């Protein structure tokens, strides 16, 4: 079972390779899309590298809850409602939703996932 530090180092390497960013840009608090500039096309490469590095399988819905964020059941007026927030917490327990809960605008969701969240996600898959 790898340590959190070992997982962070490997996640960092995957992100540096996939995104072409400098090593020192990949910090625990860096947002993968906002700070590191990942775009939707980059996710395929990131997921592939994580799967190969850690010997895990990652389904699209684990890191991209589009079904929740586009559902009229969970979104009203561009904001995720309480039921949607509960669903996100269930689906993505590794994600720190504290800031998002304060302003649950759908268009802000993509900016949430940090490197540390990704480390927690990988740890949950390998342990």
Q: Domain containing 31 — which CATH number?
A: 1.10.1200.10
Per-residue pLDDT of 8-54, as tens digits, reads 999 999 999 999 999 999 999 999 999 999 998 999 999 999 999 99
CB-based contact 7:89 (threshold 8 Å):
no
> What is the count of structural domains for the chain?
1
Domain that holds residue 75: 4-126
Closest among 55, 49, 23, 50 to 36, alpha carbons compared: 23
Mean per-residue pLDDT over the chain, rounded: 96
SS3 103: coil
Residue that the structure tokens 């809960």 belong to? 101
111 burial class (0-12, 13-18, 19+ CB within 10 angstroms)? middle
């Amino acid at each position: 079972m790898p340590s959190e530090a070992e997982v962070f180092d490997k996640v960092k390497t995957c992100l540096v390779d996939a995104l072409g960013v400098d090593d020192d840009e990949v910090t625990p608090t860096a947002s993968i899309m906002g700070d590191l500039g990942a775009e939707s096309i980059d996710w395929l490469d990131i997921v592939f590298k994580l799967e190969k590095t850690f010997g895990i399988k990652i389904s699209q819905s684990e890191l991209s809850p589009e079904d929740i964020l586009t559902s009229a059941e969970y979104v009203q007026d561009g904001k995720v409602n309480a039921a949607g927030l509960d669903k996100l917490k269930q689906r993505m327990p590794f994600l720190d939703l504290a800031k998002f809960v304060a302003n649950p605008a759908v268009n802000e969701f993509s900016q949430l996932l940090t490197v540390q969240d990704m480390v927690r996600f990988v740890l949950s898959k390998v342990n």
